[in-house]
Amino acid sequence: MQHNFLMALEALWLRRRQKIFLDVYRYWLKVFALTVAVGTASGLIPEYQFGLN
């Protein structure tokens, strides 16, 4: 779902060349990257605690 949203924003920017679409795209890209990083970090800790690696 995140990929579709970002792809739509980028397509709007490429098609219309309005800076607002690029700004919104960059903002949400950072938010989604942060959620992936936090999810990865929080998922790795229990894996090593339980010896599932």
Splitting the chain (53 residues) into consecutive groups of 10 residues, what average pLDDT does each group show? 88 96 96 92 82 67
Neighbours of 10 (CB within 10 A): 15
pTM of the model: 0.74
pLDDT of the residue at 52: 66
pLDDT of the residue at 29: 95
pLDDT of the residue at 11: 96
Neighbours of 14 (CB within 10 A): 10
